[in-house]
Structure 1
Protein backbone atom coordinates (compact mmCIF):
# COMPACT_ATOMS: atom_id res chain seq x y z
CA UNK A 1 0.00 0.00 0.00
CA UNK A 2 1.27 3.49 -0.84
CA UNK A 3 0.98 6.32 1.67
CA UNK A 4 1.04 9.86 0.29
CA UNK A 5 2.28 12.74 2.46
CA UNK A 6 3.28 16.37 1.94
CA UNK A 7 6.85 17.54 2.65
CA UNK A 8 5.93 19.26 5.92
CA UNK A 9 4.15 16.19 7.23
CA UNK A 10 7.11 14.01 6.22
CA UNK A 11 9.51 16.27 8.14
CA UNK A 12 7.31 16.22 11.23
CA UNK A 13 6.67 12.47 11.21
CA UNK A 14 9.87 11.09 9.69
CA UNK A 15 10.47 8.49 12.42
CA UNK A 16 6.91 7.15 12.11
CA UNK A 17 7.20 7.06 8.33
CA UNK A 18 10.51 5.17 8.52
CA UNK A 19 8.88 2.61 10.80
CA UNK A 20 6.15 2.11 8.19
CA UNK A 21 8.76 1.79 5.42
CA UNK A 22 10.61 -0.84 7.45
CA UNK A 23 7.31 -2.74 7.72
CA UNK A 24 7.03 -2.77 3.91
CA UNK A 25 4.93 0.32 3.21
CA UNK A 26 5.83 2.71 0.40
CA UNK A 27 5.73 6.45 1.11
CA UNK A 28 5.34 9.07 -1.64
CA UNK A 29 6.32 12.60 -0.61
CA UNK A 30 4.72 15.46 -2.51
CA UNK A 31 5.36 19.17 -2.78
CA UNK A 32 1.86 20.47 -3.27
CA UNK A 33 0.24 17.96 -5.61
CA UNK A 34 3.52 17.07 -7.37
CA UNK A 35 5.21 13.83 -6.14
CA UNK A 36 8.94 14.43 -5.60
CA UNK A 37 10.25 11.41 -3.70
CA UNK A 38 9.48 7.82 -2.84
CA UNK A 39 10.60 6.00 0.29
CA UNK A 40 10.90 2.21 0.08
CA UNK A 41 12.60 -0.39 2.21
CA UNK A 42 16.25 -0.83 1.23
CA UNK A 43 16.79 -4.29 -0.21
CA UNK A 44 20.48 -5.20 -0.15
CA UNK A 45 19.71 -8.71 -1.41
CA UNK A 46 19.56 -7.27 -4.93
CA UNK A 47 23.07 -5.82 -4.51
CA UNK A 48 24.40 -9.12 -3.19
CA UNK A 49 22.85 -11.03 -6.09
CA UNK A 50 24.42 -8.63 -8.61
CA UNK A 51 27.82 -9.17 -6.98
CA UNK A 52 27.38 -12.95 -7.06
CA UNK A 53 26.38 -12.86 -10.74
CA UNK A 54 29.43 -10.74 -11.53
CA UNK A 55 31.77 -13.12 -9.69
CA UNK A 56 30.26 -16.15 -11.41
CA UNK A 57 30.65 -14.52 -14.83
CA UNK A 58 34.29 -13.69 -14.05
CA UNK A 59 34.93 -17.23 -12.84
CA UNK A 60 33.35 -18.66 -15.98
CA UNK A 61 35.40 -16.37 -18.22
CA UNK A 62 38.60 -17.58 -16.55
CA UNK A 63 37.59 -21.26 -16.50
CA UNK A 64 39.85 -21.95 -19.48
CA UNK A 65 42.92 -20.40 -17.89
CA UNK A 66 46.13 -22.38 -18.19
CA UNK A 67 48.37 -23.25 -15.28
CA UNK A 68 50.95 -20.81 -16.63
CA UNK A 69 48.42 -17.96 -16.62
CA UNK A 70 47.42 -18.73 -13.05
CA UNK A 71 51.08 -18.73 -11.97
CA UNK A 72 51.59 -15.37 -13.71
CA UNK A 73 48.56 -13.90 -11.89
CA UNK A 74 49.99 -15.11 -8.57
CA UNK A 75 53.34 -13.51 -9.30
CA UNK A 76 51.59 -10.32 -10.42
CA UNK A 77 49.81 -10.15 -7.07
CA UNK A 78 53.11 -10.43 -5.17
CA UNK A 79 54.80 -7.52 -6.91
Structure 2
Protein backbone atom coordinates (compact mmCIF):
# COMPACT_ATOMS: atom_id res chain seq x y z
CA UNK A 1 0.00 0.00 0.00
CA UNK A 2 1.39 3.34 -1.03
CA UNK A 3 0.84 6.52 0.95
CA UNK A 4 0.13 9.84 -0.69
CA UNK A 5 -0.54 13.33 0.64
CA UNK A 6 -3.77 15.12 -0.26
CA UNK A 7 -1.75 17.85 -2.00
CA UNK A 8 -0.11 15.26 -4.26
CA UNK A 9 -3.47 13.80 -5.25
CA UNK A 10 -4.80 17.27 -6.05
CA UNK A 11 -1.86 17.88 -8.39
CA UNK A 12 -2.13 14.59 -10.30
CA UNK A 13 -5.53 13.01 -9.69
CA UNK A 14 -5.62 11.18 -13.03
CA UNK A 15 -2.21 9.65 -12.42
CA UNK A 16 -3.20 8.31 -9.02
CA UNK A 17 -6.50 7.00 -10.34
CA UNK A 18 -4.60 5.13 -13.07
CA UNK A 19 -2.52 3.47 -10.37
CA UNK A 20 -5.65 2.49 -8.46
CA UNK A 21 -7.28 1.17 -11.63
CA UNK A 22 -4.17 -0.97 -12.15
CA UNK A 23 -4.78 -2.60 -8.77
CA UNK A 24 -2.85 -0.45 -6.31
CA UNK A 25 -4.33 0.70 -3.00
CA UNK A 26 -3.46 4.20 -1.79
CA UNK A 27 -3.61 5.53 1.76
CA UNK A 28 -4.32 9.26 1.77
CA UNK A 29 -2.52 11.32 4.41
CA UNK A 30 -3.45 14.69 5.86
CA UNK A 31 -0.81 16.16 8.18
CA UNK A 32 0.94 12.77 8.22
CA UNK A 33 -2.24 11.04 9.48
CA UNK A 34 -4.13 8.49 7.36
CA UNK A 35 -7.60 9.82 6.54
CA UNK A 36 -8.75 7.65 3.65
CA UNK A 37 -7.99 4.60 1.59
CA UNK A 38 -8.53 4.53 -2.16
CA UNK A 39 -8.68 1.05 -3.63
CA UNK A 40 -9.90 -0.57 -6.83
CA UNK A 41 -13.57 -1.40 -7.08
CA UNK A 42 -14.08 -5.13 -6.95
CA UNK A 43 -16.93 -6.88 -8.66
CA UNK A 44 -18.11 -10.14 -7.19
CA UNK A 45 -17.56 -13.23 -9.29
CA UNK A 46 -20.77 -14.21 -11.01
CA UNK A 47 -21.17 -17.91 -11.37
CA UNK A 48 -24.21 -19.97 -12.13
CA UNK A 49 -26.46 -20.34 -9.12
CA UNK A 50 -27.10 -23.95 -8.21
CA UNK A 51 -30.66 -25.15 -8.67
CA UNK A 52 -32.73 -25.95 -5.61
CA UNK A 53 -31.15 -23.52 -3.14
CA UNK A 54 -34.50 -22.85 -1.46
CA UNK A 55 -35.99 -26.30 -1.90
CA UNK A 56 -38.59 -26.95 0.78
CA UNK A 57 -38.49 -23.41 2.19
CA UNK A 58 -41.79 -22.28 0.68
CA UNK A 59 -44.75 -23.69 -1.21
CA UNK A 60 -45.98 -22.24 -4.48
CA UNK A 61 -49.77 -21.87 -4.32
CA UNK A 62 -51.93 -23.78 -6.82
CA UNK A 63 -53.17 -20.71 -8.71
CA UNK A 64 -49.77 -18.97 -8.83
CA UNK A 65 -49.70 -18.69 -12.62
CA UNK A 66 -53.43 -18.04 -13.08
CA UNK A 67 -54.53 -14.83 -14.79
CA UNK A 68 -55.04 -11.86 -12.49
CA UNK A 69 -58.57 -10.51 -12.04
CA UNK A 70 -59.53 -7.69 -14.44
CA UNK A 71 -60.03 -5.12 -11.66
CA UNK A 72 -56.50 -5.74 -10.37
CA UNK A 73 -55.04 -5.46 -13.87
CA UNK A 74 -56.97 -2.22 -14.38
CA UNK A 75 -55.53 -0.72 -11.19
CA UNK A 76 -51.98 -1.60 -12.30
CA UNK A 77 -52.62 0.02 -15.66
CA UNK A 78 -54.21 3.13 -14.17
CA UNK A 79 -57.70 2.49 -15.53
Q: Specify if TM > 0.5.
A: yes
| Local SS of the residue matching 1:8 | helix
- Structure 1, gaps ≥5 residues long: none
- Greater percentage in helix: 1
Equivalence for 2:61: 66
Q: Supply the distance in 2 between the matched residues of 1:35 and 1:75 (Cα, whole angstroms).
A: 58
TM-score (norm 2): 0.64
The number of aligned residues is 69
Larger radius of gyration: 2
Q: Supply the distance in 1 between the matched residues of 2:2 and 2:68 (Cα, whole angstroms).
A: 57
TM-score (norm 1): 0.64
Runs of 4+ in structure 1 deviating by more than 3 angstroms, as ranges, are 76-79
Equivalence for 2:39: 40
- Structure 2, gaps ≥5 residues long: none
